[in-house]
Amino acid sequence: MGIGTRSVGALVVSAQGLGCMGMSQSYGAGDESESIATIHRALDLGVTLLDTANVYGDGANEELVGRAIADRRDRVVLATKFGIVRDAAGNQGAQGDRAYVRQCVQESLRRLGVDHIDLYYQHRVDPDTPIEETVGALTELIDEGTIRHYGLSECSAETVRRAHAVHPPAAVQSEWSLWTRDIEDSVAPVCAELGVGIVPFSPLGRGFLTGAITSTGQFEEGDMRRGLPRFAEENLDANLAIVRALSSLAERRGVTPGQLALAWVQSRGEHVVPIPGTKRRRYLEENVAAASLELSGDELAEIGAAAPASAVAGERYPEHLQRTVGR
């Protein structure tokens, strides 16, 4: 069985995409040749949606993805993002005014080496610029053919509604996994109501739900997970209990815990297209295999009982980053 396709808004993509961020930042040292081989293998397996952003590796990730797809652009639904800015001290903020949007898209086109972007997200909502201005600028880019569709990332349900009133977004990207369920209360229902796709990033809990992580001592210097509360030693035991329960169910089904966790995200709806990130072919192949894993109602209930949202210990982000989501 092939990986199949799903629709996010009016855009048809593979039922699972590939998150490319870790190839250039956040999860230890990269390996360009293996990363490019991973992208090529993804395309050969039927994955069409590749996800990057202008801030990943300070532009290096867009350049890497551009090199990887240079001779196979027609096989790719290319997604990138704008909107995260950092001051001289490294503090993260957001920007979304019209001039900035237009500047960013030209820079991304140059780094990617393409003449258009298929899905262009606002990475974080700018609290000082009305979403109507940002979406107005994105609509201009659609009309000009510079981008085909736009999306939003880590936004509130109210922002989705306001944006949709100007021009319907194809997708909302947000973290969604068995241990991150924040969007289920309001954002996910609004997306379903309005016909907006959902593109979950970190559907494997930044690798934790695979069962491969048992200590923060496993992380290389520079790995962002060293600074995330859920990986802190005081939260690790409680969160490992979730993984043990998930692993027991996965063993019974004859799959890995990561595949079970990924299949759970995929089961959330036909408009849901997770983008597990990896920089290695062997993990990519394991993830893609989960796209054809169908779960029964009983299995979904068991998974929900094994990994209830209330059992997760620790916040998603440290406080200074948590403030930037859900606007």
Residues known to be catalytic = 56
Alpha-carbon distances, residue 244 vs 3, 237, 258 (angstroms) = 28, 10, 12
Pair 234, 185: CB distance under 8 Å: no
Two tokens, residue 29: 């040292």
**CA-CA distances (angstroms) from residue 319 to 2, 122, 326?**
41, 21, 13
Distance CA 9, CA 26 (A): 30
H or E, element range at 148? strand 147-153
- Asked whether 189 and 156 are in contact (CB, 8 A), the reply is no
Residue showing tokens 């597990």: 276
Distance CA 293, CA 121 (A): 29
Give me the long-range contacts of 217-225 (CB less than 8 A, separation at least 24): 219/28, 220/28, 220/29, 222/28, 223/26, 223/27, 223/28, 224/25, 224/26, 224/27, 225/27
What would the two tokens of residue 166 be? 């100007």
